[in-house]
């Protein structure tokens, strides 16, 4: 009996250690541009409230030209951007050590089959798979890579050559997502047969082999090039992929087949923002003309339990005439936070749409907010990184850091959002990758 108890005890301790290790790995990673919860929130605590470019809580910085959001996986931070001048101009994927900022590997590839200007190369964010440790990258030229953690190419596809991917000069290309055993990427394309008509389609590949599993065409005629990144959500026991489309609608599709479950018409132009999901509610926004009025912009809450066209039947609430055309929302404790095109932060009641307060952080809102440790971490295009303390009736700025270029007094551009992992905050500018936080003892 004693021997059996000892075996049980050791098995129990082993399981606990595995659970603790798994929990830590999940808590300390930021595997996609909107984080582990796909909504711009982190469970981390004890995060910094102030920092400075001169050195306060600045752990390291590395030269890197980026315009998207880093991802953090297994002690490494991965970024996509651009490098070179003139005929040496290329797109670049780099991996840095999270502790030291040391460059661990770097992969550069040419830009072709696109009219996208060089300053918009590296538009997408990377996607990391916690299960395999693989990293997925979508280049502006349509190359779609799967790397292992050490930078070796597992597989690749040329989406423009294989599937007739279309990109506009504006640079809007889509970030991939992990959906179970799939990696899903969407884009405008025109091909053969059923894909002859130009549409915004979703392509699901086997994440390990790159084999094409399904293609979904939920929407109609595209109204623009877009870059809305979908999310994966379980709604009443059904796993759905939910995202904005170039035809101005939000669509929910079955993860395993791509079959459309419901659609919600939102805008007279394509959707660039990403949705977030809480329970059975989907929060979406846009900054163009509304479908039912000449007013510009809307934030909407959708009941995600419907089927078919739910535009008239499953709207929970709307917040009109607010131009949230580029940033995606975040949510905490019943408060929905959105940033409009003019860099005003709006705090909205997530159940009713009532507006609690507004707070300005600059002039141009492109980076999506991140909520963690009771604070909002937000970027603004004109080189501003702000840490806010949101309350019920207002908002206090704890830290406002303006970042200038190294060579002159002009601000650096910041388009991406912060990534939070293991007590540290990472973000890119057009000159550097920054890691800020408290030094570990």
- 180 by Cβ neighbours in 10 Å (0-12 / 13-18 / 19+) ranks as middle
pLDDT digits (tens, 9 = 90+) for 359-402: 999 999 999 999 999 999 999 999 999 999 999 999 999 999 99
Residue holding tokens 């909107």? 34
User: How far apart (Å, rounded) are the C-alpha atoms in residues 202 and 95?
Assistant: 28
Partnered with residue 380 across adjacent β-strands are 384
Percent of the chain topping pLDDT 90: 87
Over residues 279-317, the pLDDT tens digits come to 999 999 999 999 999 999 999 999 999 999 999 999 999
The answer, yes or no, to whether residue 5 has pLDDT greater than 90, is: no
Tokens of 373: 């440790």
pLDDT, greater one: 179 or 120: 179
Query: What was the pLDDT predicted at 60?
Result: 98
Helices (H), 325-373: none
- Reduce the DSSP state of residue 331 to 3 states and report it: strand
Please provide the distance, in angstroms rounded to a whole number, between the alpha carbons at the two ends of the chain.
45
pLDDT at 8 over 80: no
pLDDT of residue 169: 76
Looking at the DSSP bridge assignments, the partners of residue 303 are 281
Place of tokens 């499953």: 314
Mean pLDDT (whole number) for 55-83: 97
The CB density around residue 39, as the number of other CB atoms within 10 Å, is: 23
Please give the residue that has the higher pLDDT: either 119 or 356: 356
Number of neighbouring beta carbons within 10 Å of residue 118: 16
pLDDT digits (tens, 9 = 90+) for 146-182: 999 999 999 999 999 999 999 887 888 999 999 999 9
338's CB contacts (< 8 A; 6+ apart) are: 285, 299, 322, 324, 327, 329, 345, 346, 348, 369
Cross-strand pairs, 234: 239
For the chain, what is the largest distance between any 2 Cα atoms, rounded to a whole number of angstroms?
A: 78
pLDDT at site 27: 52
Q: Give the least confident one: 155-169, 255-269, 341-355, 379-393.
A: 155-169
Residue 9: what pLDDT? 44
Distance of CA 158 to the CA centre of its chain: 22
DSSP secondary structure letter of residue 180: T
Contact 246, 226 (CB under 8 A): yes
Q: How far apart are CA 431 and CA 233, in angstroms?
A: 35
Q: What is the mean pLDDT of residues 122-136?
A: 96
Comparing 194 with 28, the larger pLDDT belongs to 194
pLDDT of residue 26: 43
Of 279, 321, 317, whose CA–CA distance to 39 is shortest?
A: 279
95: how many CB neighbours lie within 10 A of its CB? 21
Paired residues of 253 in beta bridges: 241, 260
Q: Identify the H or E element spanning 4.
A: helix 2-27
**Per-residue pLDDT at 217 exceeds 70:** yes
- Per the CB < 8 A criterion, the answer to whether 41 and 35 are in contact is yes
The per-residue pLDDT for range 412-428, each reduced to its tens digit, is 999 999 999 999 999 99
Q: What is the pLDDT of residues 78-94, one digit of tens each?
A: 999 999 998 899 999 99
Which has more pLDDT, 148 or 6? 148
CA dihedral 424, 427, 433, 438 (to 10 degrees): -20
Task: Residue 154: count other Cβ atoms within 10 Å of its Cβ.
Answer: 16
- Long-range own/partner contacts, residues 338-343 (CB < 8 A, 24 or more apart): 338/285, 338/299, 338/369, 339/365, 339/367, 339/368, 339/369, 339/378, 340/287, 340/297, 340/365, 341/287, 341/365, 343/380, 343/381
Asked whether 182 and 207 are in contact (CB, 8 A), the reply is: yes
Rounded to whole angstroms, how far apart are CA atoms 42 and 374? 10
- Separation between Cα atoms, residue 416 and residue 109, nearest integer Å: 22
Backbone angles phi, psi at 11, to 5 degrees: -60, -40
pLDDT of the residue at 12: 45
Which of the four pLDDT bands, split at 50, 70 and 90, describes residue 22? Answer: very low
- Show the tokens assigned to 190: 């025109």
- The 8-class DSSP code of residue 411 comes to B
pLDDT value at residue 20: 40
């Amino acid at each position: 009996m004693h021997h059996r108890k000892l075996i049980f005890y050791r098995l129990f301790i082993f399981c606990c250690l595995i659970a603790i290790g798994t929990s830590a790995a999940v808590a300390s990673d930021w595997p996609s541009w909107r984080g582990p919860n796909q909504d711009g929130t982190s469970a981390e605590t004890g995060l910094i409230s102030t920092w400075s470019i001169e050195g306060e809580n600045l752990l390291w910085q590395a030269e890197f030209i980026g315009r998207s959001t880093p991802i953090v996986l297994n002690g490494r931070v991965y970024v996509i951007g651009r490098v070179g001048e003139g005929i040496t101009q290329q797109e670049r994927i780099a991996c840095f050590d999270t502790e030291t900022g040391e460059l661990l590997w770097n992969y550069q590839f040419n830009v072709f089959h696109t009219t996208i200007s060089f300053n918009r190369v590296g538009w997408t964010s990377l996607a990391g798979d916690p299960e395999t440790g693989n990293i997925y990258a979508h280049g502006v030229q349509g190359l779609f890579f799967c790397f292992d953690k050490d930078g070796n190419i597992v597989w690749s596809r040329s989406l423009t050559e294989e599937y007739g991917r279309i990109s506009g000069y504006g640079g809007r290309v889509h970030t991939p997502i992990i959906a179970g055993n799939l990696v899903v990427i969407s884009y405008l394309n025109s091909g053969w047969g059923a894909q002859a008509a130009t549409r915004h389609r979703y392509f699901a590949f086997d994440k390990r082999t790159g084999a094409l599993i399904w293609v979904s065409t939920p929407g109609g005629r595209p109204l623009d090039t877009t870059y809305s990144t979908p999310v994966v959500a379980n709604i009443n026991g059904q796993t759905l992929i939910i995202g904005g489309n170039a035809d101005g609608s939000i669509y929910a599709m079955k993860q395993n087949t791509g079959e459309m479950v419901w659609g919600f018409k939102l805008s007279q132009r394509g959707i660039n923002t990403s949705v977030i999901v809480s329970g059975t509610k989907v929060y979406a926004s846009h900054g163009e003309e509304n479908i039912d009025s000449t007013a510009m912009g809307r934030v909407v809450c959708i009941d995600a339990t419907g089927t078919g066209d739910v535009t008239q039947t499953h709207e929970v609430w709307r917040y009109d005439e607010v131009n949230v055309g580029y940033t995606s929302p975040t949510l905490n404790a019943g408060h929905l936070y959105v940033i409009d095109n003019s860099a005003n932060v709006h705090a909205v009641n997530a159940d009713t749409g009532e507006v609690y307060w507004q707070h300005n952080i600059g002039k141009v809102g492109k980076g999506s907010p991140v909520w963690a440790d009771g604070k909002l971490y937000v970027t603004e295009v004109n080189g501003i990184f702000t840490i806010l303390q949101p309350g019920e009736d207002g908002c206090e700025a704890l830290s406002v850091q303006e970042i200038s270029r190294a060579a002159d007094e002009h601000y650096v551009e910041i388009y991406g959002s912060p990534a939070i992992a293991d007590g540290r905050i990472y973000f890119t500018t057009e000159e550097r990758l920054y890691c800020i936080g408290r030094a570990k003892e």
